[in-house]
Amino acid sequence: MKKRKKNSYKEERIGKVKIIPDFLPPPNKLVPKEEAVKITLVLSKTSVDFFKHLAEENHTHYQKMIRTLLDKYAAFYSQ
């Protein structure tokens, strides 16, 4: 196993500092919202359990995973 080189910092001037304006968009602008339509959908218990298990492992929501899967499927076959 390699030994890590310990960083050594010195108290010295770092030179002229230039402050730049914030150029990053706010978090709500990073992911564009699509229009959503609420529906009622009956799925098999096996499918829902599958997605719930995966969602728990990946610290996300199972409904979001199913929605993303359907979006990707639709995009693939819409071409």
| Domain assignment of residue 65, given as a range | 36-78
d(CA 70, CA 77): 11
The owner of tokens 């050594």 is 8
- Per-residue pLDDT at 3: 72
Domain membership of residue 5 (yes or no) is no
pTM of the predicted protein model:
0.58
Q: State the 10-residue block means of pLDDT for the chain, 79 residues long.
A: 73 83 79 86 97 95 94 92
The CA distances from residue 72 to 42, 67, 75, 79, in Å, are 20, 9, 5, 11
The answer for residues whose C-beta is within 8 angstroms of residue 64's C-beta and 6 or more apart is 55
Per-residue pLDDT tens digits for 46-59? 999 999 999 999 99
Task: Answer for the pair 51, 61: CB distance below 8 angstroms, yes or no.
Answer: no
Residue 30 lies in a domain: no
Q: Is residue 53 part of a domain?
A: yes
Q: Total structural domains in the chain? A: 1
